[in-house]
Amino acid sequence: MKVKLLIFSIATLSFISSDMVRADHFFAITFNEEFLSINPATGAGTLIGMLDSSMKGFGLSNLGAAIYTFDQNADRIRQLDAATGHTLATIDIGVVTSGEGSIAFRRDGIGFLSRSFVSINTLWSFELTIPESTAIGDMSFGIDGLDFDANGVLYGLSQTSYNLYTINQTNAEATLIGPTGLVSRTFLGGLTFSSDGTLYAVLNDALFTLNPNTGAANFIGPVGFDGVSGLTAAMPIPDAVLLCGFGIVLVGRLRKRRIF
C-alpha cells in the first residue's frame, strides 16, 4: 500500500510539473504605458495595469519568472511586476538610446538589446548583475523584435522590411529567413517563442504566429490595444511558488506516513 501511494504521489507531482511549469503566460507592453496579458489562442489583450512612469518601453522579455523592458525615456532597464505592471527594479546598463527596438535574454542570463533610430541601428549585449553593456555592432536596418529559440539561436524581426532574420550574436550580422508578408502594417511590435517552440509576433495591434523556417505570418486575432511594443511568454512566479508548495506538502505527508 505504501509503495502504491508513493508511486501515485510521484506521478501526480510529475503531472503537475509538466502541466503547470510549462504553462505559458503571454504579456505585452504598449507605447501607451499599458501592461497587458495576451490570449495566444485569440490574440485578445487584457489590461493588467498602467505602468508607473511614462517610459515608452520597447521590448519585453523574461529571465526566469522576472519580466523586463527597456525604458527609452530614462535609458534604463525596468523589471515589471507580472501581477500589476508596477516597476520592481531599475537598472542602468549604460546604454543611451532613443527610437524603437527590443530586448531578449539568453538562457545563461546575458541580455541583448536592439535599437533603431533614423539611420542608427545597433545591437548590444548586457548583464544585469554587474551591470554593464557592450556594443556588438551596427546593422543596416532596425530590429523591432528579438527572441531566442530553444537552441539559443537569436531571431529578429525587421522594422522596415518586415522580414524575419537570425542574428549573429558576436558581430550583429543578420541572415534572412524570409518575409512575413505583413508589409502593409504600421510597425511596432515584439517577438517571442512559446515553450512548445511556436514563434509569435505582435505587430502594433494584432497577434500572429511566424514560421521560423520561412518567416510567413499567420493571423491569430486583434489585441484590442494599439502601439504594442513588446511581447513575451513567461511562467510568472505564482505558478512556480504553487508547484514548490505542493511538493513540500507532499513530502511532509509522505514522511508522516513513514514512506521514507
Can you tell me the mean pLDDT for 236-254?
Answer: 45
Can you tell me the mean pLDDT for 231-245?
Answer: 61
In a domain, 235, yes or no: yes
Structural domain of 145: 26-255
Distance (Å) of CA 79 to CA 98, 121, 125: 19, 24, 17
For the stretch 192-201, pLDDT in tens is 999 999 999 9
For residue 93, report the phi and psi dihedrals to the nearest 5 degrees.
Answer: -100, 5
CATH number at residue 190: 2.120.10.30
Rg of the chain taking only CA atoms, in angstroms? 20
Share in percent of the chain as helix, strand, coil (round to 5): 15, 45, 40
Residue 54 — pLDDT band, cuts 50, 70, 90?
Answer: confident
In a domain, 139, yes or no: yes
- Please give the torsion angle defined by the CA atoms of residues 230, 192, 163 and 161, in that order, rounded to the nearest 10 degrees: 0
Interatomic CA distance for residues 136 and 165, integer angstroms: 17
In a domain, 118, yes or no: yes
C-alpha cell at 54: 511614462
CB atoms within 10 A of CB 174: 20
Interatomic CA distance for residues 230 and 70, integer angstroms: 10
In a domain, 209, yes or no: yes
Average pLDDT of the chain is: 84
In a domain, 5, yes or no: no
In a domain, 10, yes or no: no
Residue 98 — pLDDT band, cuts 50, 70, 90?
Answer: low
Percent of the chain with pLDDT over 90: 63
pLDDT for position 37: 98
The amino acid that residue 78 corresponds to is: R
For the stretch 200-213, pLDDT in tens is 999 889 999 999 99
In a domain, 51, yes or no: yes
In a domain, 12, yes or no: no
Domain count, the chain: 1
Threshold 0.85, pTM exceeds: no
Chain centroid to CA 31: how far? 16
H or E element in which residue 47 lies: strand 45-50
For the stretch 124-174, pLDDT in tens is 999 999 999 999 999 988 898 999 999 999 999 997 788 999 999 999 999
